[in-house]
Chain A
Amino acid sequence: KAGVTQTPRYLIKTRGQQVTLSCSPISGHRSVSWYQQTPGQGLQFLFEYFSETQRNKGNFPGRFSGRQFSNSRSEMNVSTLELGDSALYLCASSSRQGARETQYFGPGTRLLVL
């Protein structure tokens, strides 16, 4: 099975712009989670989607949003970019929602905000 794929792998944006990141989960997986990784804050949970519905949300401002499509692919959007949004954004997929589920990660999208 192909793993989790994320596009694009690298992005450079300027402050105030918006960005959309894409994630394709492992075939058959219906849950997609997003995480932000920065040197200062480490790995932080953004949100989880299951069956096209947001099930859990982390402590991030409303500028961070996401959605999931009927084929389980997911996108996250960040509006009005700030310098502090520079990070590695990781997507993870699992078969179902739940604490016993194993999450498999993609390679990430590295976002640089100038």
Chain B
Amino acid sequence: AQSVTQPDIHITVSEGASLELRCNYSYGATPYLFWYVQSPGQGLQLLLKYFSGDTLVQGIKGFEAEFKRSQSSFNLRKPSVHWSDAAEYFCAINDYKLSFGAGTTVTVRA
């Protein structure tokens, strides 16, 4: 069965600093991977997705993610964090249903 692991439960980053959120997946075939963001009391917003092809994918809000098959990883990055990026971030893999990681809460300090 497919699964994803987000090793970091909580990350604190200063505004303007770079951010990297880790995601590792377990899947036998080509994974279809997603990053979603959830603000408090809200639903999930799609940031970006990877199906195949270029291993560096661009998303909304200045986010990008790199797929590394050799490391079974799909890490999310942003070069310069804004206060509005404070939220919970979920990595997910789709095998006819989405399986989510536990999420990483990002706190942005001024």
Contact A90 B44 (CB under 8 A): yes
Assess whether B32 is in contact with A106, with CB atoms less than 8 Å apart: no
Interface residue ranges of B40-66 to A (CB < 8 Å):
41-46, 49, 51
A1 to B98, CA, bound (A): 23
Cα distance, A55 to B90, chains bound together (Å): 24
Cross-chain contact of B102 among A4, A42, A92 (Cβ < 8 A): A42
Given contacts A42-B102, A42-B103, A43-B90, contact A104 B46 (CB under 8 A): yes
Closest to A109 in B: B43
A48 in the interface (beta carbon within 8 A): yes
- Residue from A56, A58, A92 with most neighbouring chain B CB atoms (10 Å): A92
* Closest CB pairs A-B (n = 4): A43-B100, A105-B44, A105-B43, A107-B43
Known: A42-B100, A43-B90. 10 other contacts (CB 8 A): A33-B97, A43-B92, A56-B97, A92-B44, A99-B32, A100-B51, A101-B94, A103-B98, A105-B44, A107-B42
Residues of A within 8 A of B90 (CB): 43
Distance in angstroms from B2 CB to nearest chain A CB is: 9
Query: Which residues of A sit under 8 angstroms from B42, Cβ to Cβ?
Result: 107-108
Shortest Cβ distance from B12 into chain A, in angstroms? 20
13 interchain pairs, CB-CB under 8 A: A33-B97, A35-B98, A42-B101, A43-B92, A43-B98, A43-B103, A48-B97, A56-B96, A92-B98, A100-B32, A102-B49, A103-B34, A105-B43
Distance to closest chain B CB from A26 (angstroms): 12
Q: Separation in Å of the B91 CB from the closest CB of chain A?
A: 11
Residues of B close to A6: CB separation below 8 A: 43
Q: Which residues of A are found within 8 Å of B103, using beta-carbon distances? A: 42-43
Query: Does A97 make an interface contact (CB < 8 A)?
Result: yes
Contact of B51 with A33 in the complex, beta carbons under 8 Å? no
Across the interface, do B95 and A102 meet the contact criterion of CB distance under 8 Å?
no
CB nearest neighbor in B for A108: B43
